[in-house]
Amino acid sequence: MAGIYFRDIYKSFGTSRLFEGLSLACPDRKYLCLLGPSGCGKTTLMRIVAGLTEPDSGEVLIGDKRVNGLPPASRNIGLAFQNYALYPHLSVAGNLAFPLRAPIRRGRYRQAEIEERVKRVAALLRIDQLLHRRVNQLSGGQQQRVALGRALIHDPGVLLLDEPVTHLDARLRYEMRAEIKLLHDRIGTTTIHVTHDQQEALAMGDLIAVMRNGRIEQLGAPLELYHEPATAFVAGFIGDPPMSLVHARLAQENGNTIVQVAGSSLSLSEALAAQANMAPSREIIVGLRPKQVALVERPEAGAVATTVYSHGRVGREQQLVLTFGRDEVHCRTSSAIHVTTGDKVWLSISLDGAKLFDAASGRALAHT
């Protein structure tokens, strides 16, 4: 077993507190993505697993073994950095073999076994024709494969990937995402993958831990986070584009609970009304997917006046970001419309499938 477990982790840097009692589990053989904006603590958490940073308190376990205080080489991990960190004076074969010849493992592997492992890993990563090349003669994607091979050469129980495809161009990023995920499915090494790219996390992770300011906002499978965000932060981070978050106010009209948005009153379904009635205050946030908003040619009942902030065509669709008050709304249309930044347009909002959040805490409202 090589599951990874954080228990009640505290970590400060000087007077700045990052983790305050953080707990998180990555079960054996799962692929966990740590997802969040810069500075949220995801790389620090990975470094704590690797032994490159020690927590102030709390436990880190790999399998059933407490690894606090153990040096990195004693933790049976493989680590691939975002900048690859390859040795330019060595060939591909030399880079792959280096971990087996390092002082901590010197004498553990015979030369024949080293050569066999290098060939096996190179074949797995489709770089077996490159073994005699210097790494500075390789493309970015080939260098990434070498870095992965070096991390896997000693059969680690845990694989740690720090923004592994950040430096690749768009096409190579897409290809390497698929290849890394297929590699994981084949070898099953428990993996933690640090990324700020939600598309990457959704495509690759068995589990995603969305992080913010040193806290876990939500841990779950990709579709769970997409369809049932636990907080407004998660809703506004997951998806392409993510949910639009609109500030609104609950009110009563003819005995029914309604939502007031920018001076317009919108009715709620029975299920949403039940959730709304659980709100601790009348101030809420409404989460909307692009399919729940539509442009209308002229003002109509319930329509909201907005301003075009940005627009552009992606494939067959035109994508717009519209603003009103302090809020932004993402809108998509397949119709050819002619707008410029600053234009006034009208927006029709459907609350069918919308998500409701408490404005103060950001927590999702639920009918209990």
Q: Is residue 230 a contact partner of residue 364, using CB atoms and an 8 Å limit?
A: yes
Token pair 């519209």 is found at 322
Domain range enclosing 189: 1-74+159-227
Residue 211 tokens read as 């992080």
140, 275: one domain: no
Cα(131)–Cα(122) distance, rounded to whole angstroms? 8
Q: For the chain, what is the domain count?
A: 3
User: Tokens for 295?
Assistant: 């442009």
Q: Identify the band that residue 82 occupies on the pLDDT scale cut at 50, 70 and 90.
A: confident
Q: Indicate the DSSP class of residue 365.
A: P
Per the CB < 8 A criterion, the answer to whether 163 and 82 are in contact is yes
Q: Is the pLDDT of residue 1 over 70?
A: no
Residues 223 and 297 in one domain: no
What's the alpha-carbon Rg for the chain, to the nearest Å?
25
Query: In one letter, which amino acid is 323?
Result: T
Verify that 164 and 61 share a domain, yes or no: yes
Residues 342 and 272 in one domain: yes
| Judgement on whether residues 170 and 199 belong to the same structural domain of the protein | yes
Bridge partners for 293 per DSSP:
349
225-266 pLDDT per residue, tens: 999 999 999 999 998 888 999 999 999 888 888 899 887 888
The encoded tokens of residue 341 equal 């930044």
In a domain, 365, yes or no: no
Helix or strand or coil: residue 61? strand
Do 82 and 67 lie in a common domain?
no
Give me the pLDDT at residue 368, please.
Answer: 45
238 in any annotated domain: no
Question: Is residue 163 located within the same domain as residue 66?
Answer: yes
97 within some domain: yes
Structural domain contains residue 364: no
Same domain, 148 and 182: no
* Residue 349 and residue 311 share a domain: yes
Report the chain's mean pLDDT, rounded to a whole number.
90
- Pick from 56-65, 172-181, 196-205: least confident: 172-181
The C-alpha atoms of residue 263 and residue 305 are separated, in whole angstroms, by 10
Give the residue from 184, 200, 227 where a domain finishes. 227
> Could you tell me if 347 and 253 lie in one domain?
yes
